Amino acid sequence: MSILVVGSVALDSVKTPFGKVDSVLGGSGTYFSTAASFFTDVRLVAVVGEDFPAEHLDFLRSRNIDLSGVVAAPGKTFRWEGEYGYDLNEAHTLDTQLNVFGSFQPDIPDNYRDAKVVFLANIDPELQLQVLEQVAHPELVACDTMNFWISGKRDALLKTLKRVDTLLINEAEARQLAEEANLVKAAQKIISWGPKRLVVKRGEYGSLLFSEHSTFAAPAYPLESVFDPTGAGDTFAGGFLGFLAATGNLSERSIRQAIIFGSVMASFTVENFSLERLRQLEYIEIEERFRRFKLLTEFAGLDN
Ligand code: AMP
């Protein structure tokens, strides 16, 4: 199955303790689509401005991503500027310029409206809802968001969540959204608002999957070189949903495997700035890291 995604396509300026880049390719929709494209067909809905370099669109096309839902509008592209200290788990937003996203009204192309798998990447929750309303009968809807929208558009976000199966957010966002310090209680509260599952991303500490009746914990892949965590969350979602859409299997076993594919994709993204590592990535490396992940967490029970 293919995936329909709405999200930001951006020009990012990022500073980490290991270097700095200016106006490079970024955006939640970009990172998600690129990661998911290793597993299945992706149809992207987004808007870019007149200043958006054509070579970035060529790159997305080269990944076989369908761009018929990407509109070029008068004005400037969405821009995000962020900084990380030595604690790479926390991004500090220095500036967000919505630009063309401020007035974007997504109009889903006819050939997208039958999408069965939908990803609402981090973007204004009102846009997320507008996209969802144009999709006929989605079978799996997953969603991401961030502090910017949790505090700025809470009501719209809660409305979107009612129609979401799986919410993927980071630890601080889960606490902020639920207004609850304890993560287990926060997860239960969020699940009571609509989503069947909550995936909590914890940066270098891995991730947790909560559903009504089970909890699953996955580590993060121990990496020697982490340069830039930007996009880790979106590529996690791309690996997670890409794998589920490719297999069409939503069993608990498959969802746990998808969490590991998400972790694998995030682990590659952080090895370089922007999408540089993903540009070089081969599918065989994804499989190899998936296998190493299994070894990482394998241990004997008490009775064998
Ligand atoms: P993450 O995976 O959470 O590190 O996402 C990083 C990407 O999110 C960056 O490439 C930004 O362009 C994008 N981004 C940052 N803030 C926002 C926002 N408020 N809305 C949509 N996208 C954003």
pLDDT averages per 10-residue partition of the chain, 304 residues: 96 95 97 98 97 98 96 97 89 95 91 94 94 95 96 97 97 96 96 97 94 93 91 97 97 96 97 96 97 91 80
Domain range for 109 is 3-297
Distance 213 CA to ligand 1 centre (A): 31
Position 176 scores a pLDDT of 97
Task: Specify the ligand 1 atom closest to the Cα of 149.
Answer: 19
Position 304 scores a pLDDT of 62
Position 88 scores a pLDDT of 85
Whether the full predicted model's pTM is greater than 0.85, yes or no, is: yes
Place of tokens 């499989």: 287
Per-residue pLDDT of 61-71, as tens digits, reads: 999 999 999 99
In the predicted model, what is the mean pLDDT of the chain? 95
304 part of a folded domain: no
Distance 272 CA to ligand 1 centre (A): 16
303 part of a folded domain: no
Per-residue pLDDT of 178-206, as tens digits, reads: 999 999 999 999 999 999 999 999 998 99
Regarding the beta carbon of 269 and ligand 1, being less than 6 Å apart is answered no
- The alpha helices in 97-207, defined as continuous H runs, are 125-133, 147-152, 154-161, 171-178, 183-192
Per-residue pLDDT of 147-178, as tens digits, reads: 999 999 999 999 999 999 999 999 999 999 99
- The alpha helices in 63-181, defined as continuous H runs, are 125-133, 147-152, 154-161, 171-178
Task: Specify the ligand 1 atom closest to the Cα of 230.
Answer: 4
User: Which residue's CA lies nearest to atom 19 of ligand 1?
Assistant: 148
Regarding the beta carbon of 147 and ligand 1, being less than 6 Å apart is answered no
Number of domains in the chain: 1
Q: Give the Cα separation of 190 and 41 in Å (integer).
A: 30
The DSSP call for residue 229 is -
Burial code of 219-233, b = ≥16 C-beta within 10 A, e = fewer?
A: ebbeeeebbbbbbbb
Tokens of 214: 């089970």
Regarding the beta carbon of 238 and ligand 1, being less than 6 Å apart is answered no
Distance 29 CA to ligand 1 centre (A): 9
Tokens of 176: 């902020």
Regarding the beta carbon of 172 and ligand 1, being less than 6 Å apart is answered no
Position 17 scores a pLDDT of 92
Position 275 scores a pLDDT of 97
User: Which residue's CA lies nearest to atom 11 of ligand 1?
Assistant: 27
Position 124 scores a pLDDT of 93
214 part of a folded domain: yes
User: What CATH number does residue 179 fall under?
Assistant: 3.40.1190.20
Distance 174 CA to ligand 1 centre (A): 16
302 part of a folded domain: no
Regarding the beta carbon of 262 and ligand 1, being less than 6 Å apart is answered no
Q: Give the Cα separation of 294 and 117 in Å (integer).
A: 27
Strands (E), the chain: 3-6, 10-16, 19-26, 42-48, 66-72, 78-84, 91-97, 117-120, 140-144, 166-170, 197-201, 207-211, 215-218
Distance 93 CA to ligand 1 centre (A): 9
277 part of a folded domain: yes
Distance 267 CA to ligand 1 centre (A): 17
User: Which residue's CA lies nearest to atom 21 of ligand 1?
Assistant: 123
Distance 27 CA to ligand 1 centre (A): 5
75 part of a folded domain: yes
